[in-house]
Amino acid sequence: MEFYDTMTDEELWSLANGGDSIAEEQLIKRYSQTVRICARPYFLAGGDSEDLTQEGMFGLLSAVRHFDPKRDVTFKTYAERCIDLRLITAIRTASRFKHRPLNDSVSLDSPEFDERQILSRGFLRDPEELVITRELTDELQNTLTEDLSRLERTVLALYLEGLSYTDIAARTGRCVKSVDNAVQRIRRKLAQRQ
């Protein structure tokens, strides 16, 4: 193992690319802390920090598998970019589902209401799933109204819209550090409820 410790990232990658699984493991181990650092500022709706870390590890694995030393970029730069892209993709994918109940809803007052059409579109779900979803939504709503301060609720709403800490700070009239502190408190409070 000491043999691998003295190698550069590119040398390890070359061995890993040639089928050396120990070199691949060493490269992934070397960048596991980088994955955690890259995942730290992000928030995954419906997930936790370990979910983000896992997504980041997939990004790192992609970097190991697709790195091209002929390009004028170091492995470190390429790996960090792959990790960030994977994290952003996971967050965007998760946020698409946050509006699912709204997108699946159909007005019953509409003259176009036709039960067969709704069934064919798959809007109706298993009644058990609807009850469980409603309970989880009610529980989350209670958490948001009971546990979060007004500032935290505002920061969370803006954060889920995709605004950066700087934009949130400008909208709320707070400093960026205050916004970051609010996000950290929100994460802790939601984690305690799970």
Give pLDDT tens digits for 17-62. 888 888 888 888 988 888 888 888 777 666 666 778 888 889 988 8
Residue with tokens 């809803």, as numbered in its chain: 105
**Same domain? 24 vs 91:** yes
Q: What is the pTM of this model?
A: 0.48
The CA distance from 85 to 15, in Å, is 25
**Same domain? 90 vs 21:** yes
Residue 144 covered by a domain: yes
Amino acid 96: pLDDT: 65
> Which residue ranges in the chain fall short of pLDDT 50?
102-103, 105-124
Amino acid 21: pLDDT: 86
Tokens of 19: 């089928």
The range of the structural domain enclosing residue 41 comes to: 2-97
Amino acid 168: pLDDT: 92
Number of compact structural domains in the chain: 2
Residue 67 covered by a domain: yes
The CA distance from 123 to 117, in Å, is 9
CATH code for position 80? 1.10.1740.10
